[in-house]
Structure 1
Amino acid sequence: MNHFANKSLLKEIDFTAQELEYFIDFAIHLKQLKQQHIPHHYLQGKNIALLFEKASTRTRSAFTVAATDLGAHPEFLGKNDIQFGKKESTADTAKVLGSMFDGIEYRGFAQDTVEQLAKYSGVPVWNGLTDQWHPTQMIADFMTLKEHFGHLQGLTLAYVGDGRNNMGNSLLVTAALLGVNIQIGAPTALQPSATIVAMAKEAAAKSGSKVLITSDPGAAVADADAIYTDVWISMGEDVSPQARVKELLPYQVNAKLVAQTEKADTIIMHCLPAYHDKNTEIGKALEEEFGVTALEITDDVFNSDQSVVFQEAENRLHSIKAIMAATLGDLFIPEQLFETK
């Protein structure tokens, strides 16, 4: 009996807190199996399509290695290999891929595309990132929090920067579902939409999570167990870099902001890539243009002992493996695990 059989992971709100916690705990288990070199071929003989309209380091690497570890064959299809809606409709593409592949990952722009893939393919579809949501990242992030603190309920997570991107949306809703207090610090124009906030508040009312949306960076990080940030300009976003940097510099995660948590053990999180130094072409260009050596996070904080960014990055592998194995593998998962507590 598999509670998750043939389910797609399109957005976090589609799942209960217990279901999300199962993914997290299963990911921690699979991480231990990998560290102990114990085979776990839950998807032996399966074929997985990896559709990427947007470039990727962690998501592509994680899905590829996860599929291989599970005994499946991953096939990468980039934006030049298949063209959504250009030569063939998404629905037609979904039907074709669903007839050949056992599962489909999609990373791109429109949430509607991943929803259509799930609707028409007939196989599990996993959202590797859209403009609106980033659910596979959430399982890795809350897995990292659980590994570090031993529990999730009652923790306080602060997210500062661009609050209305996919990361702001996903962290807000997932924290609310899991009973983690979520404090988002962003300028008024970059705060999550009223629809997303309402969704989070409804979930928070059931879980006991507290939701705070503020334009005050100090208030956003007060008493935070973890501070999270993300790049200020998303891939493909049409925005003036000068205006955005000026608007978001007060929300930079630096030593001064971290000190405002008034906690000694606050951890630092980032979904990467991060502009924390000049060791990238973009980093160099930004320094020349704005005279800053870092954007959303300073190098001293990024590389501090409090930073868990690389543990979090590795956890993309284990969490994606758990998601694929649970939804596509022949697992026995007792239904009573998901009875509302």
Structure 2
Amino acid sequence: MSARHFLSLMDCSPTELVSLIRRAMELKDLRNRGVLFEPLKNRVLGMIFEKASTRTRLSFEAGMIQFGGQAIFLSPRDTQLGRGEPIADAAKVMSRMLDAVMIRTFAHDTLTEFAANSRVPVINGLSDDLHPCQLLADMQTYLEHRGSIAGKTVVWIGDGNNMCNSYIEAAIQFDFQLRVACPEGYEPSARLLAEAGERVQIIRDPRQAVVGAHLVTTDVWASMGQEDEAQERMKLFKPYQVDRALLDMADESVLFLHCLPAHRGEEISEDLLDDPRSAAWDQAENRLHAQKALLEFLVEASHHHV
């Protein structure tokens, strides 16, 4: 099973990641100019969703269609990975029929087990641990608006969730400093923190964390599956809302990103996405372009090896 997979940012070298992002910018330009480009004609992407999705489904499906291929959407009712059939069996069968598989799931092990038994590339469309596709879009957005992120200071505010974990991997791969401002007990992965070493600091006070920041980002306080904790989280995370006043304390070139969906009035103030320093809409669109670059890279590579 020699296919290349993309389960985390660590599956690519820093050089490959930068070239993926540069390629995404080229693909964006082609689309903006209305150029027909179909490198994945007749290729089929299977998309397995165990969690709901708007941007992930739309971007992968639209991307495959724009590339001249097709995408097949499998809802939780259609698959139930590991419940009706062992994950390994599903991977062996599906990968004989498809050219790539994107999976959005709960347990990260589902991805690693599927990938270990797949003869085609497997892409992490989000797991409870990581969201690497979102980071490609975020890094593309920063590059487009502000240039290279290497050596810059990035601040994550809020829950140390899968997005925060992927920001830690990005700090390692894209060579920036990361400060995580989170309440006690809501830290990101201890393993990733250890791996990142000096690169990542945990600072409890968001006002202290944003001083000199070039990029500030956050996410909803209660992720999918945590709705029962929402009330308790609302109280605990209140001091972590990002508003215009907080951005004013950062570097004057600061860019604000949010992977969406956003809960206005919770992790961000009502007006923040309309602030000129926010690039959340470009960031959402860039999911399409970054993932197209990723699909082209993985699927074309796997067909050269056949």
Deviation by residue 1:126-179 (Cα, 9 ceiling, x = unmatched): 00000001011010000001111121211211110002x100100111122211
2:4/2:302 contact within 8 Å kept: no
| 1:41-80 alignment runs, 5 A limit | 41-80=38-77
1:256, 1:146 → 2: CA distance?
24
Amino acid aligned to 1:174: A
2:158, 2:133 → 1: CA distance?
21
Q: Which segments of 5 or more consecutive residues in structure 2 lack a partner in the other structure?
A: none
Q: Which segments of 5 or more consecutive residues in structure 1 lack a partner in the other structure?
A: 205-209, 277-293, 334-341
Evaluate the alpha carbon distance shift between residue 222 and residue 23 of structure 1 in structure 2; reply closer, same or farther with a 3 A threshold: same
1:6, 1:38 → 2: CA distance?
30
Aligned to 2:261: 273
Aligned to 2:284: 313
1:241 to 230, 240, 263: 230
| 1:195-274 alignment runs, 5 A limit | 195-201=191-197, 210-237=199-226, 239-261=228-250, 263-274=251-262
1:303 to 252, 264, 274: 274
Shift of 1:331: 10
Shift of 1:14: 2.5
Evaluate the alpha carbon distance shift between residue 96 and residue 158 of structure 1 in structure 2; reply closer, same or farther with a 3 A threshold: same
2:125, 2:229 → 1: CA distance?
27
Aligned to 1:160: 157
Shift of 1:256: 2.4
2:121/2:302 contact within 8 Å kept: no
Does residue 192 (structure 1) correspond to residue 188 (structure 2)? The answer is: yes
1:200, 1:253 → 2: CA distance?
25
Under a length normalisation based on structure 1, what TM-score does the superposition of the two structures give?
A: 0.85
Aligned to 2:33: 36
Does residue 325 (structure 1) correspond to residue 296 (structure 2)? The answer is: yes
1:144/1:315 contact within 8 Å kept: yes
| 1:116-195 alignment runs, 5 A limit | 116-163=113-160, 165-195=161-191
1:50/1:104 contact within 8 Å kept: yes
Deviation by residue 1:168-207 (Cα, 9 ceiling, x = unmatched): 1001111222112211100121112321101222xx7xxx
* Equivalences, count: 303
Amino acid aligned to 1:237: Q
2:5/2:11 contact within 8 Å kept: no
Amino acid aligned to 1:305: P
Amino acid aligned to 1:179: D
1:223, 1:301 → 2: CA distance?
19
1:247, 1:67 → 2: CA distance?
41
Amino acid aligned to 1:271: C
Does residue 13 (structure 1) correspond to residue 10 (structure 2)? The answer is: yes
Amino acid aligned to 2:281: F
Q: Indicate the SS of the match to 1:299.
A: coil
Q: Indicate the SS of the match to 1:183.
A: strand
1:176/1:211 contact within 8 Å kept: no
Shift of 1:265: 2.7
2:133/2:290 contact within 8 Å kept: yes
Over 3 Å off, 4+ runs: 330-333
2:245, 2:36 → 1: CA distance?
46
